[in-house]
Structure 1
Amino acid sequence: MIVFRLIWESFRFAMQALKSNLTRTILSLLGVTVGIFAIIAVFTLVDSLERNIKGSLTFLGNNVIRVDRFPFSSGNQEYPWWRYFRRPPGNYAEFVFLNERLKNAEAITIFASSRATVKQGSNAYERAYLDGVIYNHKDVYELPIEQGRFFTEMEITAARNVTIIGVKVARALFPGQDPLGKELKIKGLKFIVIGVFEEEGEGLFDTPSKDEALLIPYGAFSKIFYIGQFGVEPTIAAKGKDDDPGLVVLENEMAGLLRAKRGLKPTEEDNFALNKSEFIQNAVGSIFAVISIAGWVIGGFSILIGGFGIANIMFVSVKERTSIIGIQKSLGAKNYFILLQFLFEATFLSLIGGLAGLMIVYAATYVPLGNLEIILSFKNILLGLGLSSVIGIVSGIVPATLAAKLDPVEAIRST
């Protein structure tokens, strides 16, 4: 019961402090408002940017290792770039070899990619992303289909002219129509649409998107493009298991098998690169971690100033209510009651400033920023409220302690 009484009295005194000198209180709370706004705005922007960028990199897959000629990061800056070009690309024979022997992969796939113009009657979609895939592709990469279905093993094996298309391609070629079962042309060859991907939405960068993609069987792709070192180079990708953190076991196993397949001697260096999809995502996370630290520094100074402002309000409040404190103590109020009363008041004042900062951030999320969607997360709201509470407690502890230690007789005599 005493807790509710303390909260009510503290809230009442906080409102009194706001009303008694509105300009002074607003100016004092401005620091907390600006500080919370700066920190939460930076965190919200960082979270939104990171989410959008990682969403744009979904074509790399999750928990996936790719066999490439070029590494995402060489690690050795002295390695001549031209030596990468001399490396042989992956091929179907290596895929079969790995598929038969890999023990630490959930699934393995091989695919080839190129740009192509797709036509249907007088409609056309230029430079669409065309991928030739095998049946296992769906087990390595997420391929959410909204309409229709994925390829059957028979369609892949027989290299049937069937395709799964993105929503942008569907809208361009079949406006106002159901594309399932209809024909389109790729390089003069007719393909039947058997599925449509779920809409992915715009990304921040010009990265491959399922909205502009077409999937066809790997064999059908080879009818259109030459697959090999001097044509479209295929990519082998393997999905790791959840109990292999960092995909260390899978990476070592793939490296050993590829070296054996390519006949590399123990003294020879690898002539392939094993690239993890998490590398780029972790690099993006590291960049935004630095930006987050900068947000803490910028907002920290504002919050510090706001803390001094609240402390000033509380010192004035203690001075103005000294006689009331004396009366309360003479009537039996304990020191902790007076202490908590002022601490609650300081916390309420700080929360008011913090809420104002959060409201400004929330209002800013409605500002259109192109493809970037800004979302104020529940985690950041809690962080803002938590910071406000801590600042209020820290700023109010000294004035509250002084108020609690006042002598009741001397306090009543004060004017």
Structure 2
Amino acid sequence: MIYIHLLLESFRFALSALRANLMRTILSLLGVTVGIFSIILVFTLVDSLEKNIKSSFNFLGDDVVRIEKFPWIFGESYPWWKYINRPKADYSEYKFLADNTNQAKSITIFAERFGTLIKHENNSLNGAIVSGVAYSHKDVFEIPVDDGRYFSPQEVEKGSNVAIIGYEVAQTLFPNTIAIGKEVKLRGLKFRVIGVMEKKGASVLDAPSADDYVYVPYKTFFKMYSGRGVFGVESIIAAKGFEDDEGLKELEGELTGLLRQKRGLRPKEDKNFAINRPEALGEIIGGLFDVVTLAGWVIGSFSILVGGFGIANIMFVSVKERTNIIGIQKSLGAKRFFILFQFLFEAVFLSLLGGLFGLLLVYLISFISLGSLDLTLSFGNIFLGVSVSVIIGTLSGILPALGASRLDPVIAIRA
């Protein structure tokens, strides 16, 4: 009970000091408010931007490795013409890997063509992304069909002229009617719409959106882009790994061995394909944002330092103003710990109050529309702001509190 009484007594002293010198307290707390605001705003922006950028690459898939001709990160010692001369992945390699791999949940093959014109009667959209996919594509990548259905195995195997269109494609071609069952034209061929995907919206980096996609069976894709290896369009084999395969290393190793076997590469020959993982991009993005986070700490630290000096100044003045009261408390039996805790609690309380105002400003800013960037104040950043405020208050108030606790009661009463 005595500790609860001590806490309440310290809280009353802090409120009394705040009311007695309101303007002085507010001006001193501005440093802490600005410091916490600067740091947490930078962290919130960095976290939100990193989250939105990584979500922009959702079309690459989670726990997915991709077998392609070119790597996402080029090695310095590998000549560029060797990349050019590499063979493209084909359907027979996809079937071979699908039949022999044990480390993948599912495997698909697909090819894409950007900037395609798609029509329905008098409506048209120039900029659609046509993707020819295998039936297993839905098991590797997310295809959220909101209305209608996905391809049947027979439609994919026969290369039927059926299509699943994105939300934006459906809104453009069928603004006032239902798209399911209607026909669209792609490169002179008619396709029956069997599905419409749910709306995804734009991303921060303007990355390909599911709203602009038109999915057709992989073999049907060859009807439109036949010759010269799908008319210069590269086919990509993608495999989804198991969650317990950390870094998808086991899957990558198995695919590398199987594809080297399929292509007849000798042990000492360089592999003529690239295996790309989205985690590699995530590591690069994370490294860039680590630098930005460090810069945020440096910028905010100066403001917090000024705020800490302001809190310390308030506390030294407070000790001077209440020296007589300290002497009376000590003469009545108050221990040094009580005096120390009283002033230290006041410093922490004032610093925490400034930090909470800074967090409140960041929270209000999170409601401002920033286009496709979704700004969110996370619980982790709130905890960080509160923790930094408490630490600054403790460091700023420790010396004034120690000085107050060591005052001689006789000399203090006469002050």
Query: How would you bin the TM-score normalised by the shorter chain?
Result: over 0.9
**Does residue 1:323 correspond to 2:324, yes or no?**
yes
Following superposition, the deviation at residue 6 of structure 1 comes to: 3.5
Q: How does 1:344-359 map to 2 (within 5 A)?
A: 344-359=345-360
3-state DSSP of counterpart to 1:66: strand
Match of 1:217?
217
Match of 1:105?
104
Most deviating of 373-382 and 37-46: 373-382
CA contact (8 A) 1:88 1:229 kept: no
User: CA, structure 1 residues 53+408, in 2 after alignment: closer, same or farther (shift >3 Å)?
Assistant: same
Match of 1:400?
401
Q: How does 1:224-239 map to 2 (within 5 A)?
A: 224-226=224-226, 228=229, 230-239=231-240
**Does residue 1:33 correspond to 2:41, yes or no?**
no
**Does residue 1:334 correspond to 2:320, yes or no?**
no
CA contact (8 A) 2:222 2:230 kept: no
Following superposition, the deviation at residue 392 of structure 1 comes to: 0.9
Following superposition, the deviation at residue 5 of structure 1 comes to: 3.3
The separation in 2 between residues aligned to 1:243 and 1:272, in whole angstroms, is 25
> One-letter code of the match for 2:339?
I
> One-letter code of the match for 1:410?
I
CA contact (8 A) 1:348 1:392 kept: yes
CA contact (8 A) 2:225 2:231 kept: no
**Does residue 1:272 correspond to 2:273, yes or no?**
yes
Most deviating of 319-328 and 104-113: 319-328
Q: What CA RMSD, in Å, does the superposition of the two structures yield over aligned residues?
A: 1.7
CA contact (8 A) 2:106 2:140 kept: yes
> One-letter code of the match for 2:222?
S
3-state DSSP of counterpart to 1:184: strand
The unaligned stretches of length 5 or more in structure 2 are none
The separation in 1 between residues aligned to 2:89 and 2:328, in whole angstroms, is 86
Match of 1:254?
255
Match of 2:168?
168
Q: Percent identity?
A: 56
**Does residue 1:313 correspond to 2:324, yes or no?**
no
The separation in 1 between residues aligned to 2:355 and 2:101, in whole angstroms, is 55
The separation in 2 between residues aligned to 1:124 and 1:160, in whole angstroms, is 22
CA offsets 1:75-123 (integer angstroms, 9 cap, x no match): x313222221111111111111111111111111100100221111111
Match of 2:301?
300
3-state DSSP of counterpart to 1:235: strand
Match of 1:70?
70
The unaligned stretches of length 5 or more in structure 1 are none
Following superposition, the deviation at residue 230 of structure 1 comes to: 4.8
User: CA, structure 1 residues 123+229, in 2 after alignment: closer, same or farther (shift >3 Å)?
Assistant: closer
> One-letter code of the match for 2:280?
F
CA contact (8 A) 2:124 2:172 kept: yes
Match of 1:57?
57
The separation in 1 between residues aligned to 2:335 and 2:286, in whole angstroms, is 51
The separation in 1 between residues aligned to 2:158 and 2:2, in whole angstroms, is 79
The separation in 2 between residues aligned to 1:180 and 1:401, in whole angstroms, is 77
3-state DSSP of counterpart to 2:276: strand
The separation in 2 between residues aligned to 1:355 and 1:73, in whole angstroms, is 44
Most deviating of 107-116 and 402-411: 402-411
Say how many residue pairs are matched: 413
Following superposition, the deviation at residue 378 of structure 1 comes to: 2.1
Following superposition, the deviation at residue 190 of structure 1 comes to: 2.0
CA offsets 1:345-366 (integer angstroms, 9 cap, x no match): 1111001111121122222223
Following superposition, the deviation at residue 292 of structure 1 comes to: 0.6
Following superposition, the deviation at residue 368 of structure 1 comes to: 3.1
The separation in 2 between residues aligned to 1:157 and 1:10, in whole angstroms, is 78
Match of 1:413?
414
Match of 1:390?
391
The separation in 2 between residues aligned to 1:232 and 1:138, in whole angstroms, is 21
3-state DSSP of counterpart to 2:238: strand
CA contact (8 A) 1:118 1:128 kept: yes
Following superposition, the deviation at residue 229 of structure 1 comes to: 6.5
**Does residue 1:283 correspond to 2:284, yes or no?**
yes
CA contact (8 A) 2:170 2:196 kept: yes
Following superposition, the deviation at residue 221 of structure 1 comes to: 1.3
3-state DSSP of counterpart to 2:70: coil
CA contact (8 A) 1:89 1:229 kept: no
The separation in 2 between residues aligned to 1:226 and 1:196, in whole angstroms, is 26
CA contact (8 A) 2:33 2:356 kept: yes
3-state DSSP of counterpart to 2:87: coil
The separation in 2 between residues aligned to 1:284 and 1:71, in whole angstroms, is 17
CA contact (8 A) 1:67 1:274 kept: yes
Greater than 6 Å deviation, 4+ residue runs: none
Most deviating of 34-43 and 154-163: 154-163
> One-letter code of the match for 2:102?
K
Q: How does 1:105-254 map to 2 (within 5 A)?
A: 105-115=104-114, 116-226=116-226, 228=229, 230-254=231-255
Most deviating of 390-399 and 103-112: 390-399
The separation in 2 between residues aligned to 1:120 and 1:262, in whole angstroms, is 43
3-state DSSP of counterpart to 1:36: helix
Following superposition, the deviation at residue 183 of structure 1 comes to: 2.0
CA contact (8 A) 2:32 2:304 kept: yes
